[in-house]
Amino acid sequence: MTNVSELQIERRKFKPVLPEVLSKGAFNIEIKKGKPTKSIADQSKIKAIFKNTYGLPEIVFAKGKNQAASKKAVRVGVVLSGGQAPGGHNVIAGLFDGLKQANKKNELVGFLGGPSGIVENKYKLITEELLSKYRNTGGFDLIKSGRTKIETDEQFLCAKNNCEKLDALIVVGGDDSNTNAALIAEFAKKENMDLCVVGVPKTIDGDLKNSRIETSFGFDTATKIYAELVGNICRDVNSAQKYWHFARLMGRSASHITLEVGFKTQPNIVLIGEEILAKKLTLAKIVDNIADIIVKRSKDGKNFGVVLVPEGLIEFIPEMKELISALNDTLADNSDALSKIHSVEEKKEFVFNKLSPKLSSLMKSLPAGIASQLMLDRDPHGNVQVSLIETEKLLIEMIHKKLSELKKQGKYAGKFSAITHFFGYEGRCGIPSNFDANYCYALGYNAAILALNGLTGYLSSVRNLTKPSKQWICGGIPLTMMMNVERRHGKDKPVIQKALVDLKGKPFKEFVKNRDKWALTESYIFPGPIQYFGPSEVTDMTTKTLKYERG
């Protein structure tokens, strides 16, 4: 009995197709430098923090000769940071192959368990024998991941000691982890270390992007997996015609996943957090809007439908955003006192007394379970763990109340039976799609080229992604260019700005054009499972978001 599936065996044989510009290796790539750059906001504050790495030029790779790339053997460390995303192993594979192509003696070590592996000096040497089992597979299990933030002086000192023998460190992570990468790059420069730090844009949430980073890796595969599940639910709904399904989809700060899955399946209601914030909708108004569609459909005899809820919805509702931000500060300022209180109810009482009367009564008005979930520990970067907050249940509870009021008023005669789903972890470790397998391999290979050229403080950038991978454009984007100052853990911190759904952007406009029709009809699409073999139309398609944004 073997412990790999038939698909895994076949999938290992997939050979990612490198962008043309990378295909001849490090010594045949010319480095083109652009003009000095600025951070997207708070320039003077960011410049003051990143004295040594602020203002770097953008880098684009072109075909040509390169004398500068390191010919001497180098030792490079890689760390996978934050939530899993399909394709992480291919980043390591591309990195490994890029380094070995330049010099067989180059070495790659993988820090274990995320950034804590750097602090605790836990690592393993990556060899071809080891890596061959992981090529084109999902998950981060080759070296695991973690959410530790390298923050304290002591942690920086440990990192310094443990990276002393490295020539480069590659940080594969989202906005927070790459912010950390930028801080490490700055620290290394300040300490005169010979360490080049390069980031790789990872997150299924799709919120680490800009004009040069078209998408983060993992978004493509994860949304395809969620879309298969939601599509199947749509078909079930249309067959039985008796339930309303509420599916919450991962994406803690932005609604890109929900929008993309919306395009792929065309359900009846798709909530976009960014729109809710822009329109300053209250929780009650959101519930009214959903109830309105439920009532309209029931008049046509349709007591069924599908609703997509972005995981981060709660933080987009202005009154809840205010509450969460006050809670963040209260929890951070009173962490010692709170750690001595053991029951959640007593903790809640303590917090109620610290909040303003308005926020305290808002919190008291929430279902007890949701209020407790809001009190849960923040992650090391100061983020609320929205994946643990069951917003869909909150909505359903409120919709029930609203519909029974409408019933009493004689405005609703339907039946509302709701089923909930949370699709998150199901999509984060799937076998990468062809797109992610190619993209991740290119990102890793590209990071190797940046590292071999000592280009520190950059994010690996591979773009032109709606074209075949041979035509992709490669280079590096200064990490400080994407930064602004935000409030975290009750303090102002430099962070890479998250890319939220752009309400003026083409994907959102396309959605608005269609949503009224989706609401009242059954325009469902059933995308089915990811296809790894077969016609290019189904195996190589990119996301609808990329198609509308770049099409």
Would you name the residues annotated as active-site residues?
Answer: 205
Q: Which stretch binds ligand FBP (CB under 6 A): 150-158, 249-257, 295-303, 339-347?
A: 249-257
Total of residues contacting ligand FBP (CB under 6 A): 15
Q: Which stretch binds ligand FBP (CB under 6 A): 30-38, 111-119, 244-252, 336-344?
A: 244-252
Provide the mask over 31-70, with x wherever binding to ligand FBP is found by CB under 6 A and - wherever it is not: ----------------------------------------
Q: Contact between 252 and ligand FBP (CB under 6 A)?
A: yes
Q: Out of 95, 143, 250, 308, point to the residue binding ligand FBP (CB under 6 A).
A: 250
Among positions 115-144, residues that touch ligand FBP (CB under 6 A) are none
Provide the mask over 404-433, with x wherever binding to ligand FBP is found by CB under 6 A and - wherever it is not: ------------------------x-----
Taking every pair of C-alpha atoms in the chain, what is the biggest distance, in angstroms? 81
Q: In a 3-state reduction of DSSP, which class is residue 200? A: strand
> In angstroms, what is the minimal distance from the CB of 45 to ligand FBP?
24
- Cβ proximity to ligand FBP: between 101 and 215 the closer is 215
Tell me phi and psi for residue 233, to 5 degrees. -65, -40
- Cβ proximity to ligand FBP: between 19 and 310 the closer is 310
285: CB partners within 8 A, 6+ apart: none
> In angstroms, what is the minimal distance from the CB of 179 to ligand FBP?
12
Query: Whose CA is closest to 349, among 326, 325, 375, 323?
Result: 375
Q: Contact between 443 and ligand FBP (CB under 6 A)?
A: no
Quote the crossing angle between the two packed helices 506-520 and 283-299, to the nearest 10°: 40
Q: Contact between 484 and ligand FBP (CB under 6 A)?
A: no
How many DSSP H helices and E strands does the chain contain? 23, 15
Task: Please name the helix (run of DSSP H) or strand (run of DSSP E) that holds residue 389, with its range, or none.
Answer: none
> In angstroms, what is the minimal distance from the CB of 210 to ligand FBP?
16
State the DSSP string of 127-194: -HHHHTTTTT--SSTTT--B-----SHHHHHHHHHHHTT-SEEEEEE-HHHHHHHHHHHHHHHHTT--
Tell me if 95 sits within 8 A of 443, measured CB to CB.
Answer: no
Cα–Cα distance, 103 to 26 (Å, whole number): 10
Cα–Cα distance, 226 to 229 (Å, whole number): 5
Q: Out of 119, 172, 197, 204, point to the residue binding ligand FBP (CB under 6 A).
A: 204
Q: Which two tokens stand for residue 450?
A: 């940046």
- Cβ proximity to ligand FBP: between 58 and 390 the closer is 390
Residue with tokens 């790789």: 200
Q: Where are the beta strands (DSSP E) in 362-490?
A: 418-423, 458-463, 473-478, 483-488
> In angstroms, what is the minimal distance from the CB of 258 to ligand FBP?
11
C-alpha distances (whole Å) from 205 to each of 83, 143, 388, 473 are: 10, 22, 16, 23
> In angstroms, what is the minimal distance from the CB of 469 to ligand FBP?
23
Q: Which stretch binds ligand FBP (CB under 6 A): 55-63, 77-85, 296-304, 358-366?
A: 77-85
Q: Contact between 82 and ligand FBP (CB under 6 A)?
A: yes
Q: Which stretch binds ligand FBP (CB under 6 A): 198-206, 326-334, 455-463, 525-533?
A: 198-206
Query: Whose CA is closest to 310, among 156, 424, 197?
Result: 424
Q: Which stretch binds ligand FBP (CB under 6 A): 31-39, 79-87, 180-188, 475-483?
A: 79-87
- Cβ proximity to ligand FBP: between 99 and 395 the closer is 395
Q: Contact between 205 and ligand FBP (CB under 6 A)?
A: yes
> In angstroms, what is the minimal distance from the CB of 311 to ligand FBP?
6
Q: Contact between 251 and ligand FBP (CB under 6 A)?
A: yes
C-alpha distances (whole Å) from 474 to each of 29, 174, 324 are: 10, 19, 39
Alpha carbon distance, N-terminus to C-terminus of the chain: 47
> In angstroms, what is the minimal distance from the CB of 187 to ligand FBP?
22
Q: Contact between 97 and ligand FBP (CB under 6 A)?
A: no
State the DSSP string of 49-100: H-TTTTTPEEEEEEES--SSS--S--EEEEEEBSS--TTHHHHHHHHHHHHH
Q: Out of 203, 255, 453, 497, point to the residue binding ligand FBP (CB under 6 A).
A: 203
- Cβ proximity to ligand FBP: between 125 and 388 the closer is 388
CB-count burial class (<10 Å; 0-12, 13-18, 19+) for 506: middle
Provide the mask over 367-406, with x wherever binding to ligand FBP is found by CB under 6 A and - wherever it is not: -------------------xx-------------------
> In angstroms, what is the minimal distance from the CB of 439 to ligand FBP?
15
> In angstroms, what is the minimal distance from the CB of 202 to ligand FBP?
6
Q: Out of 58, 214, 228, 311, point to the residue binding ligand FBP (CB under 6 A).
A: 311
Q: Contact between 200 and ligand FBP (CB under 6 A)?
A: no
Cα–Cα distance, 209 to 482 (Å, whole number): 9
> In angstroms, what is the minimal distance from the CB of 160 to ligand FBP?
25
Q: Contact between 174 and ligand FBP (CB under 6 A)?
A: yes
Residue type, position 198, single letter? V
Tell me if 494 sits within 8 A of 48, measured CB to CB.
Answer: no
Binding positions for ligand FBP, rule: CB under 6 A = 82-83, 85, 147, 174, 203-205, 250-252, 311, 386-387, 428
